[in-house]
Amino acid sequence: MGIILHVLLVFSVLIAIFAVSTKNLLNSVIAMSVFSASFVIIFIVLQAPDVALVEAVVATGITTGFFVITLNKLEGVK
């Protein structure tokens, strides 16, 4: 379990760096969704299914949806 957890944490850090450093906002939102999904897997590995479920619903689902809707509305402003 230790090696899997370390690989997932390194993957999460790399995805977070990509999300912050990219210039395209949609790529950043997708990267943050992948970041949240990786934390869902980390919580499952750590045997915290209730926290994983909340992370999956709130961070991966609702927040990503709000960001995508906001980006679509902002494209009309430009």
Contact 31, 22 (CB under 8 A): yes
What is the C-alpha to C-alpha distance for residues 7 and 26, in angstroms, rounded to an integer?
26
Q: What is the pLDDT of residue 77?
A: 60
Q: What is the pLDDT of residue 45?
A: 93
- For 1-24, the pLDDT digits (tens) are 789 999 999 999 999 999 999 999
- For 22-57, the pLDDT digits (tens) are 999 889 999 999 999 999 999 999 999 999 999 999
Domain residue limits, the chain: 2-75
Q: What pTM was estimated for this model as a whole?
A: 0.85
- Average pLDDT on 63-68 reads 90
Q: What is the pLDDT of residue 7?
A: 94
Written as six digits, the tokens of 58 are: 């709130």
